[in-house]
Structure 1
Amino acid sequence: MNFRQRRPREEPEINFVPLIDVLLVILIFLMATTTYSRFAELKINLPTAEAEKTVATPKTIQIAISASGQYSINEQLVTFGSPDDFAVQLRRAAGTEQDPMIVINADGQASHQSVVNVMEAARLAGYAKLTFATQTTGGK
């Protein structure tokens, strides 16, 4: 039997002073070796013009497409069998204008195919300027 008295066990102690010293040295090292880069910017002065601007607006052809698939050119109801027929009607509406602006006013419920038909007819007619009309929400 072992009747010796045991010494009270000491609780382990963590010494934070060396840890703080090491972290401070790492921090100083990082601050000394960091390079600060600046973003390159071009400082330019744009030229100004004092002349009045002349706005040459091309003739516009308003094409409306209803939700049921009806078409109108400049507020006149039209019917056609193929995009070729519609291209002829577009040329007739353009008159002597070489490259008019075609504004497509399609209903939100109109099918995609009806809009594609108008785009195809404009391509067949040789008109490259197409735009879509949108409706803005009130209050903004």
Structure 2
Amino acid sequence: MTIPMEFQHTSDAFESFLADARDTSGLGTRNQTYTVVEGVLRTFRRRLDVHEAIRFAQVLPPVLRAIFVADWDTTAAPVPFTDRETMTDEVRALRQHHNFASGTAITDVATALLRHVDRTAFDAVLATLPPGALAFWHVTDPERT
């Protein structure tokens, strides 16, 4: 079997996503963007059990999949989805002295991510996750995706 295309072009795909997320969020550097993306992924992951999180990870591009599962305490119990402001504060808590997440960080990352995933597969997985998962990734402005 040949190497799947998603793995042959992993670095290019990740750089494309990171540039998209940087531009969407108005950040200045890829390092700032990486921290915000990681914060959003971790915030979402905290609300899933291990089985749900693995199903979700399967629809992410390879590097984002790796970031999503990195440094994960799989013994921690999931926490409930809350309001956007509270979850955005959680995004900002990751490396807080070097985190440039704005109040729209979750929406900004979601907007970029939706342009880099298979939307059919992504939406199908979200439909199997706890209430709040779909809203977490929902983007209300159709011009943004």
The TM-score with structure 1 as length reference comes to 0.28
Q: Hey, which of these two has a bigger chunk of helix by percent?
A: 2
The TM-score with structure 2 as length reference comes to 0.28
Q: Hey, which of these two has a bigger chunk of strand by percent?
A: 1
